[in-house]
Structure 1
Amino acid sequence: MPGQSVKMLGTPQSLNNLSRRSMLIGMAVSGVALLASCGQGSGKVAANIAPDGKLEDRVNIYSWGDYDDPELLSDFKKKFGTIVQADAYGSNEEMIAKLAASRGTSGYDLIVPTGLMIPQMVEHRLIQELDHSLIPNLDTLDGNFTDQYFDPGNRYSVCKAWGTTGFVYDKVRHTGSYTSWSDFLDLAATEASGRTAVLEDAWEVTSIALGHLGENMNTEDAAVLRDARNLIVNDLAPHIRAYVGNAATAMSQGSFSLMQAFNGDARQGILDADDPDRWEFVFPTPSANLWMDNWCIATGAQHPDAAHKFIDWIIAEDQALVECDYIGYPTGSKVFLDTSVEEEFDLPELIFPTQEVLDRLTASEFKGMEARTNILTDAQARSGV
């Protein structure tokens, strides 16, 4: 942000000009209220390590859906004799609700919150400190992805993946040139009316309007947010067919021609499409959101050594390459500093935004969330979906 010197997410290129950035996928005001109801604590939970240091026979992961290569999970079992059980959630809110309700007895060892949630989760004792001596592969991480503002020193978290937001469109149906959020709004209201999908995410949907207006995406200005509401609810919502969590799923349905999307999801949808060449992904101007998800160990984890071992193994360079190819998002590994690595991937331009794109991204401060949540709720009502 202006006037701030910060270190944040990156690509294989230099990140000297990139501001700090994180995003709350699916996070609503109720998620913050839920955290507030968890009770106060010291904010510090000591690392829970098995006294004999022996690796347990299983590790339970609670993460975003389809967020790890199943073959890697099988490989971990083959290598260490530890079964990996993975359950999925659809939002930070859902994950936090589960942990808060269980009070340390959720049965989950590893969770994957978005960065901005970590300070609150530490405060309310939902995650525990990491034992860095059990994660020597921390040395394999790119410094742009360590020591983040939300977790100085990586006491509680390790970067899993990062990505950004834009839109994908059907080039056969829409033959113009589209580069901005203004283009997205115009297209949705005309050629793509009734064939448009946006993310079911209050922050992201509101950001479409703020980008069009040229406003700071962190604004709390009531007048600006009213203008954003007017654009989303009155101008965009009547043309929206669906609010989705994953554009890849929407693309496979064949009833959409314009979709707001996370870059990795768009890449997966394009790769899975019958005719991939008909789809184009846009990193829109003037700005968009960048997020970072993180490996954390839940308070009360029953398999702490296996959890540490899994983190250490999954972030190593060989596994980082496989993970990136499967999920479509880079991890924080130094392996991606070698730009020749991009040649190993299909559609690498969707995985690795250029420095020009990174330089224009905005840091999310999670301000004015109540207004944004109301905008999404009103838009969904107006769309009738």
Structure 2
Amino acid sequence: MRGSRRAADVVALIPEVGSSRLTRRALLSGFAVAGAGLVLTACSRQTAFGASARVDGTLESQLNVYSWGDYDDPANINAFQKKSGVTVQLDSYGSNEEMIAKLGATRGTSGYDIVVPTGNYVPMMVANGLLQKLDHSRLKNIGNLDPLYTNQSWDPGNRYTVCKDWGTTGFAYDTDVITRPMSSWADFLDAAQHEASKNVAVLEDPWEVTSMYFGAHGIDPNTTKKADLDACETYLVNTLAPHVKAFNSTAVTSGIPEGTFSLIQAFNGDARQGMLATDTIPKNWKFVYPTPTANLWMDTWAIATGAQHPDAAYAFIDAMLEPDASYREVDYIGYSTGVKGLEERAKEEGFDLPELVFPSAEVISRLTPAELNDAAERLVSIVNRMMAKAGS
């Protein structure tokens, strides 16, 4: 990663990675609730940042949050506003690249207080001075986070971020078409060339697509070795691509209820949405957390350099780490927040398919957080070639 360049050059630092994260967030809650988030987003587009008075001598009267579209439960926003007296203004972006470019170009004068970067972008942002160090003494609820989701490799000690939502990647398959047991990426690649050929969907994210090959062949999915990348390209382009029907991050949300695919690489929460999009949970679809590893992605709360409302920012993040707020977030977004006790509460309250939101400890222990490293541009090239081959 070329993270030593100054902040003004941050746009040049960003590999041209696909925008699958946008599609993942856009449909997490399903179409029925999208309108609620859009109201908040639409209001926030008329951005007008300015000085803010104190509510009660402690908090500023305004908070400016820069997040993904429809990625925050309106009930949580409203509850915070009512309790604190702080007006929350939301502005949205469609990719980490867009958010980083905005912060880098403004050099601490963006007007945003809180941002929501994906974990593997955090080292780049820190190196370019875009994030403030967190004062943990001002986050009394940080102890609510399960240690499994703290102290990540891209932010040791949670110096700059805390977990907002997290998830992983696996695959769903139609057991009427693929009748054998499936448990690994090797199984996925084999079934894609046989029973599911021409009815396979994979994600648009280059790291996610290439990690299937690396996982199946016992290679670190964050490898930068030329020999690994060359072998991956040869296999994915020449062997797998002819069997792939679509590169679409939302394929699982429609593909399961409509039966348009029989094998789908998918984010765990999205697979759950696809299974819940039918009148009854389909018995012929199964989701797999594949061995040996998959991505542990995490979106995080962070405070931007130059934040004009730091007290309100700390109060907001702390409020989102409260158990009740966290549970509402899980229910709205369909992904875990990493707060302790949510799985038990979900099961008690009849939460549908909790296993697709809360993987077992065994699964979590073998996940690998994606890195944004020197192989990023090569991964993009590999998947672009796959797309061309699949469409030829």
Structure-1-length-normalised TM-score: 0.79
Q: In 2 relative to 1, CA 293–235 (structure 1 residues): closer, same or farther, beyond 3 Å?
A: same
Which residue number in structure 2 is paired with residue 375 of structure 1? Answer: 382
Q: In 2 relative to 1, CA 358–62 (structure 1 residues): closer, same or farther, beyond 3 Å?
A: same
What SS is found at the alignment partner of 1:353? Answer: coil
* 218-227 vs 57-66, greater mean Cα deviation: 57-66
Which residue number in structure 2 is paired with residue 362 of structure 1? Answer: 368
Report how far residue 165 of structure 1 moved.
0.8
| Match of residue 141, structure 1, among 121, 141, 145 | 145
* C-alpha distance in 2 between matches for 1:80 and 1:260: 42
* C-alpha distance in 2 between matches for 1:70 and 1:285: 36
Amino acid at match of 2:199: R
Q: Deviations over 1:198-249 (max 9, x none)?
A: 1111111101111222222232332222221122112222232332334554
* C-alpha distance in 1 between matches for 2:347 and 2:153: 28
Which residue number in structure 1 is paired with residue 278 of structure 2? Answer: 273
Which residue number in structure 1 is paired with residue 126 of structure 2? Answer: 122
Aligned CA-pair RMSD: 3.1
Query: Relative contact order, CA 8 A, sep 6+: which one is greater?
Result: 1
* C-alpha distance in 1 between matches for 2:304 and 2:229: 36
What SS is found at the alignment partner of 2:209? Answer: helix
- Tell me if 1:289 matches 2:295: yes
What SS is found at the alignment partner of 1:127? Answer: coil
Which residue number in structure 2 is paired with residue 258 of structure 1? Answer: 263
What SS is found at the alignment partner of 2:101? Answer: helix
* C-alpha distance in 1 between matches for 2:2 and 2:191: 33
Which residue number in structure 2 is paired with residue 306 of structure 1? Answer: 312
Which residue number in structure 2 is paired with residue 102 of structure 1? Answer: 106
Q: In 2 relative to 1, CA 175–274 (structure 1 residues): closer, same or farther, beyond 3 Å?
A: farther
Report how far residue 158 of structure 1 moved.
1.3
Report how far residue 289 of structure 1 moved.
1.5
| Match of residue 165, structure 2, among 156, 161, 164 | 161
Q: In 2 relative to 1, CA 256–108 (structure 1 residues): closer, same or farther, beyond 3 Å?
A: farther
* C-alpha distance in 1 between matches for 2:293 and 2:173: 18
* C-alpha distance in 2 between matches for 1:69 and 1:248: 23
Report how far residue 142 of structure 1 moved.
2.5
Which residue number in structure 1 is paired with residue 33 of structure 2? Answer: none
* C-alpha distance in 2 between matches for 1:238 and 1:269: 25
What SS is found at the alignment partner of 1:167? Answer: strand
* C-alpha distance in 1 between matches for 2:5 and 2:75: 38
Aligned positions of 1:178-327 closer than 5 A? 178-251=182-255, 254=258, 255-277=260-282, 278-327=284-333
Q: In 2 relative to 1, CA 109–340 (structure 1 residues): closer, same or farther, beyond 3 Å?
A: closer
Amino acid at match of 2:314: H
Report how far residue 316 of structure 1 moved.
0.8
Report how far residue 150 of structure 1 moved.
3.0
Amino acid at match of 1:74: N
Q: In 2 relative to 1, CA 149–223 (structure 1 residues): closer, same or farther, beyond 3 Å?
A: closer
Same amino acid, percent of matched pairs: 54
- Tell me if 1:37 matches 2:9: yes
- Is the 8 Å Cα contact of residues 253 and 275 (structure 2) preserved in structure 1? no
Q: Deviations over 1:124-160 (max 9, x none)?
A: 1211233434322123223333344433443321111
* C-alpha distance in 1 between matches for 2:220 and 2:352: 34
Q: In 2 relative to 1, CA 144–181 (structure 1 residues): closer, same or farther, beyond 3 Å?
A: closer
* Structure 1 alignment gaps of length 5 or more: 1-28, 40-48
